[in-house]
Amino acid sequence: MAYTTGITDESKDIKDEIKALLHKRKAILLAHNYQRPEVQDIADLCGDSLELSIKASQTDAAVIVFCGVHFMAETASILCPDKKVILPVSNAGCPMADMITAKELRRKKEGLSKGKRVIVISYVNTTADIKAETDICCTSANVIQVVNSVDTSRQIFMTPDKNLAQYAIKHTGRNIVYWEGFCPVHNNLTVGQVREAKSAHPEALFLAHPECPPEILDLADEVKSTSGMIAYAGSSESREFIIGTEIGILHPLSKANPGKSFFPADPGMICSDMKKIGLREILTALQTMQPEVKVPREIREKAKGAVDRMLAIPSGDL
């Protein structure tokens, strides 16, 4: 594994400097559940991307330091326009979000809209440009409720994740046309790897993220978002779990459940973009207050409409 646990004297000094600068800048440090353990440990808030931005919007922080990937920092900018948003490593991107452009989405909409009324549902793991072309966003936790909220006379087009779309089709019975995007980290998990993990840990429940392919979800005891997995593992009577998502989540799962054991479905489920930010990058970002991510107003307002329409649906989960 390319990243460290961060338990060194040097990192203790860096952590102290980060804390002092966070205070001085009136900044809040957010870390996605897939971030390196040492980054999660120093963050003010850890969680799913949208959940983090919503919680940050409810604080009086002037600055958000987002330890995640670019679309997450954009979402923070969309929901917190009065706060300065910093992504410590500017090229921390998301291959799945980059699989569709706004131009491609517009072309797809035009093609589909001949004689039909199309509604675009976009997973929050998309760029701000895509959200601005979207009718309603969804998360991996509320996708079923969002799809069910759409009038049955409408043709649904979902982007960018084909696996999330197929999961929604299976659980709603709706006719959904979808973009063929995918998260390489989840899409590469194989049935053979899951079977191997299950035979190594026969008592364990298998929790899978809906970004995994349908044949993987068919093997799952539960399909959950990252925050959903943390909540489920905490309340379950089971003591062992096989986890089908990016391995960064093993850190918060183990931390929150000291008496339980968590095993990766595949130890190779590592998102290299999610590991680009370390303590040193956070410190430099706080010293320079760069690189900033700011979504232009016209895009922001349209994108926020798609997020707000999702939040208006009573789903209970994000």
Residue 190 sits at φ, ψ, to 5 deg, of -110, 160
Residues of this chain that interact with ligand SF4 (CB under 6 A) are 34, 69, 94-96, 125, 183-185, 246, 271, 273-274
Q: Strand pairing partners for 181?
A: 161
Q: Which is nearer to ligand SF4, 133 or 246 (CB)?
A: 246
List Cβ<8 Å contacts ≥24 apart for 41-46.
41/6, 42/15, 42/18, 42/279, 42/282, 43/67, 46/252
User: Cβ 277 to ligand SF4, closest distance in Å?
Assistant: 12
User: Cβ 249 to ligand SF4, closest distance in Å?
Assistant: 10
User: Cβ 60 to ligand SF4, closest distance in Å?
Assistant: 29
Q: Which is nearer to ligand SF4, 271 or 306 (CB)?
A: 271
User: Cβ 313 to ligand SF4, closest distance in Å?
Assistant: 22
Which residues are CB-contacts of 271 (< 8 A; sequence separation ≥ 6)? 34, 183, 185, 246, 248
Q: Which is nearer to ligand SF4, 125 or 315 (CB)?
A: 125
Look at residues 279, 308, 310, 138 and name the one whose alpha carbon lies nearest to residue 211: 138
Q: How far apart are CA 209 and CA 164, in angstroms?
A: 9
User: Cβ 211 to ligand SF4, closest distance in Å?
Assistant: 6
The answer to whether 29 and 20 are in contact (CB under 8 A) is: no
User: Cβ 185 to ligand SF4, closest distance in Å?
Assistant: 4
SS (H, E, C) 42-55: HCCEEECHHHHHHH
Q: Which is nearer to ligand SF4, 22 or 69 (CB)?
A: 69
Q: Which is nearer to ligand SF4, 272 or 287 (CB)?
A: 272
Look at residues 174, 166, 235 and name the one whose alpha carbon lies nearest to residue 207: 235
User: Cβ 69 to ligand SF4, closest distance in Å?
Assistant: 5
Q: Which is nearer to ligand SF4, 149 or 182 (CB)?
A: 182
Q: What is the DSSP string of 51-97?
A: HHHHHHHTS--SEEEEES-HHHHHHHHHH-TTSEEE-SSTT---TTG
Q: Which is nearer to ligand SF4, 77 or 127 (CB)?
A: 127
Look at residues 111, 109, 178 and name the one whose alpha carbon lies nearest to residue 143: 178
User: Cβ 200 to ligand SF4, closest distance in Å?
Assistant: 24
Furthest-apart CA pair in the chain: how many Å? Answer: 65
